[in-house]
């Protein structure tokens, strides 16, 4: 099977998962508060553009890293 | 004795092969012979100097409701379209319980800009299940229909109000699988889902509450039938769209299904977006996945007046809130200084100069003719107002019937879009036919393909025909359609390659409810046959009703 170029990594929220739980799962090496801030800053489509902001949906793409430079 | 012979045309058979001079003979609704045909026929269509091609297939429409009172999906058929795919974007008219009708109508109203009266005044709603909907439209079809079933309505049927609140349980997912299977057995061509849409209250539609595991389970059912999964991704964000491409590829590979996503817009502000999407699609196809980006041909033009809510105001929630009110309350809101100040605040510190200034007044029954063609910025300056205030005050002075157009808001550069459309993995479609009635005409994209991209040299005639006939049929598994070959269904369009086009966008008043929609007539289309019967010729629709639900 042909290889894929690397793209921005993401996860999808689990049922009833909070942003804190998701941050802990997706960015386990960072302190929780920093991890939550990072998740929020990388996912403005969920945490800024959505009404109500931060409503996590099961189908969401939630990025766990910043945009890849020169992508 | 044949039923019909289409004689002496340039036969472009939908395969992409070079056209050739010849005839197409039809018997019992099917193509009987292609080439130099001898013999007689009850009807002879003279195609001298014309192209004879398979009927066009429009794979992204919302004709679900219109088909209940207009079996030709006008004006799609006169543009040469002989097969439409309704049920996109997670919304279809079945399966749906009676108790959920108002909820679905609200979603159609919000997402597809269709007036609620279209669902309540023009037909008798007699069905709940998919087979019932199929039977209701089949009574009077002159166009073929390959309907998708919507994920949101499947979820709504199984989960009720909880479909817009939470993840499904394993039992609920099993029930959705069973329901989807029933729909596919009843003639659905696949499943549609949406990752972006909200209902009339701003709440995400049911499909967006699904875990990936739910979509995976439903895709497993699609795999039993080899049917299509259509999605609306977050098209405004390239990284998210690429993530969706990867999800679709996973489902395609795992369940051996075709998938497609739309819309795909080329936008001057993000020139690398479509190239990045196509590059990812190429990688996924190389792995064996089938993920078809579906791209429209026409530029993004949006018209509106303050008579109706419009997607133009999607990012101006206070405007949308006022425009959703019944006329009397809407007028009261637009005259209320406190409400107006909040609306003005929505448009930014320059009061709409950047956001609204380039709008062009296109006219309207009550629009001052001397202002037609002027920008709102120019009009505002002349009135000593800011654009946002001028939009409101001018509209109020003329009973709100002053239409503006936001022209060329994307996808407008032929030299960029042409090569994209010609790409072998780009699927041409995404017309949205039958939706966004008061925002833009969703008809004539096929004519525009020829006038703008073939006649300007970006695609050959044969390429363009194949893109919207044979290739589309292959992508969707419509085995009977898309090619002029003996044995195939006789869906045929006869057109003038030098004239085929879409006409000017005009408002007409033929819809239930408040009645207005923008539409475009066809140019250069001589004759359209559906399943061997002449359905449109010489500028008129016939009484033929040979359309079927085709899968």
Residue B307 pLDDT: 87
B220 within some domain:
no
B69 within some domain:
yes
CA dihedral for B172, B178, B181, B186, sign (positive or negative): negative
Residue B469 pLDDT: 98
Query: Nearest CB to A67: which of B204, B239, B244?
Result: B239
In A, which residues are within 8 Å of B279 by CB distance? 5
Total structural domains within chain B: 2
Query: Nearest CB to A58: which of B202, B211, B239?
Result: B211
Query: What are the φ/ψ torsions at residue B209 (nearest 5 degrees)?
Result: -90, 0
B280 within some domain:
no
B380 within some domain:
yes
Query: What would the DSSP string read from start to end of B182-199?
Result: HHHHTT--EEEEESS-B-
Tokens of B315: 């990012």
Rounded to the nearest angstrom, the minimum Cα separation between B549 and chain A is 31
Contacts of B12 (CB under 8 A, 6+ apart): B19, B51, B52, B53, B461, B462, B465
Residue B189 pLDDT: 98
Rounded CA-CA distance B472/B425 in Å is 11
Rounded to the nearest angstrom, the minimum Cα separation between B230 and chain A is 15
**Residue tagged 């009843």 (tokens):** B186
- Nearest of B200, B316, B192, B306 to residue B258 by alpha carbon: B192
Q: Is B106 helix (H, G, I), strand (E, B) or coil?
A: helix
ipTM above 0.90, yes or no: yes
Cβ distance B211 to A14 less than 8 Å, yes or no, reads yes
Q: How confident is the model at residue A53 (pLDDT cuts 50, 70, 90)?
A: confident
The domain segmentation of chain A, as residue ranges, is 10-63
What CATH number is associated with residue B76? 2.30.40.10
Query: Nearest CB to A7: which of B202, B209, B242?
Result: B242
Tokens of B479: 């085995």
For B244, left (φ over 0), alpha (ψ -120 to 50), or beta?
Answer: alpha
B211 within some domain:
no
In A, which residues are within 8 Å of B166 by CB distance? 15-16
Cβ distance A61 to B276 less than 8 Å, yes or no, reads no
In angstroms, what CA-CA distances link A15 with A22, A54, B269, B484?
A: 11, 15, 36, 50
B317 within some domain:
yes
Rounded CA-CA distance B209/B204 in Å is 8
Check if A57 contacts B (Cβ < 8 Å): yes
User: In terms of domains, do B352 and B434 share one?
Assistant: no
Q: How confident is the model at residue A71 (pLDDT cuts 50, 70, 90)?
A: very low
User: In terms of domains, do B366 and B466 share one?
Assistant: no
Rounded to the nearest angstrom, the minimum Cα separation between A30 and chain B is 23
Rounded CA-CA distance B253/B398 in Å is 57
Residue A1 has pLDDT above 70, yes or no: no
* pLDDT by position in tens, chain B (length 551): 999 999 999 999 999 999 999 999 999 999 999 999 999 999 999 999 999 999 999 999 999 999 999 999 999 999 999 999 999 999 999 999 999 999 999 999 888 888 888 899 989 999 999 999 999 999 999 999 999 999 999 999 999 999 999 999 999 999 999 999 999 999 999 999 999 999 988 899 999 999 999 999 999 999 999 999 999 999 989 999 999 999 999 999 999 999 999 999 998 889 999 999 999 999 999 999 999 999 999 998 888 999 888 888 877 888 988 998 889 999 999 999 999 999 999 999 999 999 999 999 987 678 889 999 999 999 999 999 999 999 999 999 999 999 999 887 789 899 999 999 999 999 999 999 999 988 899 999 999 999 999 999 999 999 999 999 999 999 999 999 999 999 999 999 999 999 999 999 998 989 887 688 999 999 999 999 999 999 999 999 999 999 999 98
Query: What are the φ/ψ torsions at residue B108 (nearest 5 degrees)?
Result: -60, -40
Domain limits at B75?
1-88+429-475+483-544
Residue B513 pLDDT: 72
In B, which residues are within 8 Å of A43 by CB distance? none
Rounded to the nearest angstrom, the minimum Cα separation between A2 and chain B is 5
Rounded CA-CA distance B211/B204 in Å is 14
Query: What are the φ/ψ torsions at residue B334 (nearest 5 degrees)?
Result: -70, -15
Query: Nearest CB to A45: which of B207, B237, B246?
Result: B237
CB-side neighbour CA atoms (13 Å) of B365: 8
In angstroms, what CA-CA distances link B256 with B115, B223, B232, B243, B426?
A: 38, 6, 20, 19, 19
Rounded to the nearest angstrom, the minimum Cα separation between B261 and chain A is 15
Rounded CA-CA distance B350/B335 in Å is 21
In A, which residues are within 8 Å of B284 by CB distance? 4
Residue of B nearest to A61 (CA): B240
Whether A42 and A55 have beta carbons less than 8 Å apart is answered as no
Residue B460 pLDDT: 98
Average pLDDT over every residue of A25-29: 93
Rounded CA-CA distance B465/B80 in Å is 11
Query: What are the φ/ψ torsions at residue B317 (nearest 5 degrees)?
Result: -60, -35
In A, which residues are within 8 Å of B217 by CB distance? none
Whether B4 and B490 have beta carbons less than 8 Å apart is answered as yes
Cis-peptide, bond into residue B134, ω within 30° of zero: no
In A, which residues are within 8 Å of B287 by CB distance? 1-2, 4
Chain B residues within 8 A (CB-CB) of chain A? 166-167, 195, 202, 204, 207-212, 214-215, 234, 237, 239-240, 242-244, 246, 276, 279-280, 283-284, 286-288, 317
Q: How confident is the model at residue A70 (pLDDT cuts 50, 70, 90)?
A: low
Check if A2 contacts B (Cβ < 8 Å): yes
Rounded to the nearest angstrom, the minimum Cα separation between A53 and chain B is 12
Cβ distance B215 to A1 less than 8 Å, yes or no, reads no
In A, which residues are within 8 Å of B286 by CB distance? 2
Residue of A nearest to B244 (CA): A61
């Amino acid at each position: 099977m042909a290889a894929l170029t690397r793209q921005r990594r993401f996860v999808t929220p689990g049922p009833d998962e909070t942003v804190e739980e998701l941050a802990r799962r997706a960015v386990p090496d960072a302190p929780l508060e920093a991890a939550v801030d990072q998740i929020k800053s990388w996912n403005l489509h969920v945490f800024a553009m959505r009404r109500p902001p931060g409503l996590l949906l099961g189908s969401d793409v939630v990025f766990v890293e910043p945009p890849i430079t020169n992508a | 004795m044949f039923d019909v012979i289409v004689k002496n045309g340039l036969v472009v058979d939908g395969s992409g092969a070079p056209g050739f001079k010849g005839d197409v003979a039809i018997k019992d609704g099917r193509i009987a012979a292609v080439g130099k045909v001898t013999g007689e026929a009850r009807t002879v269509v003279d195609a001298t100097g014309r192209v004879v091609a398979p009927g066009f297939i429009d794979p992204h429409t919302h004709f679900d409701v219109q088909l209940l009172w207009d079996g030709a999906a006008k004006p799609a058929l006169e543009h040469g379209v002989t097969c439409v795919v309704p049920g996109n974007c997670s919304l279809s008219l079945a399966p749906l319980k009676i108790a959920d009708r108002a909820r679905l109508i609200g979603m159609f109203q919000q997402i597809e800009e269709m007036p609620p009266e279209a669902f309540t005044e023009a037909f008798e709603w007699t069905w709940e299940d998919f087979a019932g909907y199929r039977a209701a439209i089949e009574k009077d079809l002159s166009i073929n229909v390959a309907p998708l079933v919507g994920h949101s309505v499947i979820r709504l049927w199984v989960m009720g109000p909880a479909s817009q609140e939470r993840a499904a349980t394993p039992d609920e997912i099993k029930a959705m699988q069973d329901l989807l299977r029933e729909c596919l057995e009843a003639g659905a061509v696949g499943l549609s889902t949406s990752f972006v849409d909200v209902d009339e209250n701003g709440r995400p539609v049911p499909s967006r509450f699904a875990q990936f595991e739910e979509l995976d389970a439903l895709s497993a059912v699609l795999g039993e039938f080899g049917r299509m999964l259509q999605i609306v991704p977050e098209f405004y964000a390239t990284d998210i769209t690429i993530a969706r491409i990867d999800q679709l590829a996973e489902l395609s590979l795992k369940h051996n299904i075709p998938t497609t996503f739309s819309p795909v817009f080329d936008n001057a502000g993000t020139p690398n977006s479509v190239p990045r999407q196509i590059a990812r699609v190429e990688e996924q196809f190389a792995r064996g996945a089938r993920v078809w980006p579906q791209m429209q041909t026409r530029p993004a033009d949006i018209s509106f007046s303050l008579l109706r809510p419009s997607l133009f105001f999607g990012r101006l929630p206070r405007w949308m809130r006022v425009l959703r009110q019944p006329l009397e309350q809407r007028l009261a809101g637009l005259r209320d200084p406190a409400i107006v100040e909040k609306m003005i605040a929505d448009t930014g510190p320059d009061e709409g100069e950047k956001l609204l200034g380039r709008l062009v007044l296109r006219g309207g029954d009550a629009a001052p003719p001397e202002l037609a063609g002027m920008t709102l910025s120019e009009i505002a300056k002349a009135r000593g107002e800011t654009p946002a205030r001028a939009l409101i005050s001018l509209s109020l002075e003329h009973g709100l019937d002053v239409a503006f157009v936001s022209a060329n808001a994307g996808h407008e550069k032929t030299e960029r879009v042409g090569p994209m459309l010609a790409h072998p993995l780009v699927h041409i479609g995404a017309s949205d036919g039958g939706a966004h009635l008061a925002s833009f005409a969703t008809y004539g994209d096929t004519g525009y393909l020829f006038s703008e991209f073939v006649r300007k040299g970006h695609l050959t005639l044969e390429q363009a025909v194949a893109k919207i006939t044979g290739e589309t049929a292959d992508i969707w598994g419509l085995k009977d359609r898309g090619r002029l070959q003996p044995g195939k269904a006789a869906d045929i369009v006869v057109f003038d390659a030098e004239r085929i086009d879409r006409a000017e966008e005009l408002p007409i008043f033929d819809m239930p409810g408040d009645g207005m929609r923008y539409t475009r007539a066809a140019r250069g289309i001589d004759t359209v046959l559906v399943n061997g019967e002449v359905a449109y010729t010489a500028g008129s629709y016939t009484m033929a009703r040979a359309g079927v639900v085709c899968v």
